[in-house]
Amino acid sequence: MNTNTFNILTSILHYEDVKFAENKITELEGLLTLNDVDKNIIKDIREGIQLNKLPSVAYIKQKYSYADTGLFENIIEKEAIDSAIVSLISTQSKNKLKKDLLTLSGDVDLLSPEELKVKVNSILENKLLESSSEIPKNALLVEGSLYNTLHNKEDGLSVLNYRIEQHAGKAVPGNVITILGFAGSGKSTAAMQIAYDNALDGKNMLHISLESTAEALINRLVLNHSAKIARNRNDLINANWVRDNKLTKPLQELYDKNYQDLLQKLNNRLIIWDETSVKYNTFLDMSDTFRKADLLFKQTTGEGLDGIILDQLALLKFTAAGGKRYNSVTDTLNDWVSYLRKQSLNFLDTGKKITIFMVSQINRESYAEASKPKNKGRYDITCASDANEIERASQTMITLYKDLDTRNTLLVNIPKARDGSVPDNPLQLEFYGEYYRIGSLSITGESITAEDFDEGTISLEDLIKI
Contact between 394 and 334 under an 8 Å Cβ cutoff? The reply is no
> Domain extents for the chain?
5-130, 154-463
Contact between 286 and 339 under an 8 Å Cβ cutoff? The reply is yes
Q: Which amino acid is at 439?
A: G
CA dist 39 and 51 (Å) reads 19
The CATH code of domain 154-463 reads: 3.40.50.300
Angle, CA 448 vertex, CA 446 and CA 449 arms, to 5°: 145
Burial classification of residue 287, based on how many CB atoms lie within 10 Å of its CB (0-12 exposed, 13-18 middle, 19 or more buried): middle
Mean pLDDT per block of 10 residues along the chain (466 residues) reads 82 90 86 87 92 90 80 76 82 84 84 79 63 60 65 73 90 94 92 95 95 92 93 91 93 93 94 91 88 94 96 89 80 92 92 94 92 89 89 93 85 91 90 92 60 44 46
The alpha helices in 230-327, defined as continuous H runs, are 239-243, 249-266, 283-301
The alpha helices in 51-80, defined as continuous H runs, are 57-63
CA dist 402 and 384 (Å) reads 17
CA dist 454 and 439 (Å) reads 14
Contact between 190 and 431 under an 8 Å Cβ cutoff? The reply is no
Element (H, E) at 398: strand 396-402
CA dist 448 and 63 (Å) reads 75
Contact between 68 and 57 under an 8 Å Cβ cutoff? The reply is no
Element (H, E) at 207: strand 205-209
pLDDT for the residue numbered 24: 87
Q: Which amino acid is at 175?
A: N
CA dist 66 and 52 (Å) reads 27
Task: Name 427's bridge partners.
Answer: 412
Residues contacting residue 350 through CB under 8 Å, at least 6 positions apart? none
pLDDT for the residue numbered 26: 87
pLDDT for the residue numbered 457: 40
pLDDT for the residue numbered 149: 61
pLDDT for the residue numbered 465: 44
Is 266 strand, coil or helix?
Answer: helix
In the chain, how long is the greatest CA-to-CA distance? 89
Cα–Cα nearest to 379, from 352, 427, 415: 415
Cα–Cα nearest to 118, from 284, 302, 263, 235: 284
| Structural Rg of the chain based on CA atoms | 27
Q: Where are the beta strands (DSSP E) in 15-93?
A: none
Strand pairing category for 355-361 and 176-181: parallel
CA dist 119 and 104 (Å) reads 7
pLDDT for the residue numbered 466: 39
Is 31 strand, coil or helix?
Answer: helix
